Amino acid sequence: MISQSDTVVLSAYRVAEWTQDAAYFQSALVSISSNLARGEEGEDVHKAQEELLDIAEVLVEEEDIQIRQYIALVDAILTQNDMVVAAYDGAYAADDVVNELLDNLKHVADLLEPVDQTPIDGNEADDNKPEAKLTAVAVIAFAADALIRENKITNEAKVRNGTTS
């Protein structure tokens, strides 16, 4: 159930306000409602998003990422970007979940294109939507870094296979 202080809804509003895109907020509300209508599975997704959004807020409050990166990261969390899902899953495979989530989400934020604030008079609203501009190399490098942290491959293997960024 969505409450007045729902982190996911408030975060969707922050992105919509930052980009001056009311349609974004509308779409996010439909997505949130659809998730929750799926029952326990949807509630699990919602709880995971809340946890990730809390971590993203810590990153911006601690000035580990800029507000423009935070907005892009929030959008990636809300849209269940593949890198965010991998970061979340990877963190729960680690011993220190919170620190792993912090590290993983900071890395994801670094890969996302920061979102500039759209002026209120904003005729530019369509030009500034938060989207991740990723390449296959960036995704592979992210995955390789996760495997290195889990000691499943060495950094030398990453370099040998050409996945350094």
pLDDT per position in the chain (165 positions), as tens? Answer: 455 678 898 999 999 989 888 888 888 888 888 888 888 998 999 999 999 999 999 999 999 999 999 999 999 999 999 999 999 988 887 777 888 889 999 999 999 998 888 876 544 444 444 444 434 444 455 555 655 666 656 666 555 444 454
- C-alpha–C-alpha distance, residues 102 and 120, integer Å: 32
Q: What is the pLDDT of residue 97?
A: 83
Q: What is the pLDDT of residue 6?
A: 84
Structure tokens at 6: 């729902």
Find, among 79, 81, 85, 84, the residue nearest to 27 by Cα: 79
Q: What is the pLDDT of residue 136?
A: 40
- C-alpha–C-alpha distance, residues 141 and 14, integer Å: 30
Beta strands in 75-162 (DSSP E): none
Q: What is the pLDDT of residue 159?
A: 53
- C-alpha–C-alpha distance, residues 126 and 139, integer Å: 26
Q: What is the pLDDT of residue 144?
A: 56
- C-alpha–C-alpha distance, residues 103 and 43, integer Å: 25
Please, which residues have CB within 8 angstroms of residue 130's CB and are 6 or more apart in sequence? 15, 19, 71, 72, 74, 75, 76, 112, 113, 115
pTM (global) more than 0.85: no
Q: What is the pLDDT of residue 33?
A: 86
Output the CA angle 103-73-19, nearest 5 degrees.
160
- C-alpha–C-alpha distance, residues 32 and 116, integer Å: 25
